[in-house]
Amino acid sequence: MPGTLMIVTAPSGAGKTTLVRGLLERDAGVRLSVSYTTRAPRVGERDGVHYHFIPVPEFVRLRDQGEFVEWAEVHGNYYATSKGWLREQMAAGADLVLEIDWQGAQQVRRAFPEAVGVFILPPSIAELEHRLRGRGTDSDEVIGRRLLAAQAEMRHVGEFDYVIINNELSVALDDLAAVLRSARLRYPNQKLRHSGYFDFLEQD
């Protein structure tokens, strides 16, 4: 498929969402993968743009048919990534970014081994704690649990192709954009995007 799928994973507080948002603003040629969910739309959310909003029976039907490359239940709602939608978009040449945890990343890469995995790390655990406390939204107990969970997640960093240490946001954003640019230039992608050119080169 000529399109590129980039998986971005990070522990809470490492800056993943900010970096992905910055990449989408910088590069009009990439779009965020749209997940399916059974929760109700929030104010300002649009179906097919922020999520594909579907009822639980429809979600279960699609799941049981093997439509989802990964799925999870979070706070009583279901979320999933459509295998068919990813393939359709990439076949059309779209470059996609998928924000997902390490477990979901494992599932996606089994179905899409050509996907590029990027893990975002905080500069240190101490800095991660500082960022989490700076939000002012969680108790000490919750922050403690988040830090333990973050360390467990970070142990999976070796499963990814690229690692970005988000010490300075602008530098980390440059790094993320560079990963996408390099992925686009891989031989299989270039051959599919410029098939006529490569067909000519391969003639006897």
Q: What is the pLDDT of residues 26-36, one digit of tens each?
A: 999 999 998 89
**97 domain residue, yes or no:** yes
Whether residue 163 is predicted with pLDDT greater than 90 in this model: the reply is: yes
**201 domain residue, yes or no:** no
Domain of 63, in residue numbers: 5-194
pLDDT band of residue 204 (cuts 50, 70, 90) is low
The pLDDT value given to residue 191: 85
**44 domain residue, yes or no:** yes
**87 domain residue, yes or no:** yes
**200 domain residue, yes or no:** no
Average pLDDT in the 188-194 region? 85
**204 domain residue, yes or no:** no
pLDDT band of residue 59 (cuts 50, 70, 90) is very high
- CATH number of the structural domain spanning residue 70: 3.40.50.300
**55 domain residue, yes or no:** yes
Number of domains in the chain: 1
* The residue type at 46: R
The pLDDT value given to residue 1: 66
**23 domain residue, yes or no:** yes
The pLDDT value given to residue 109: 94
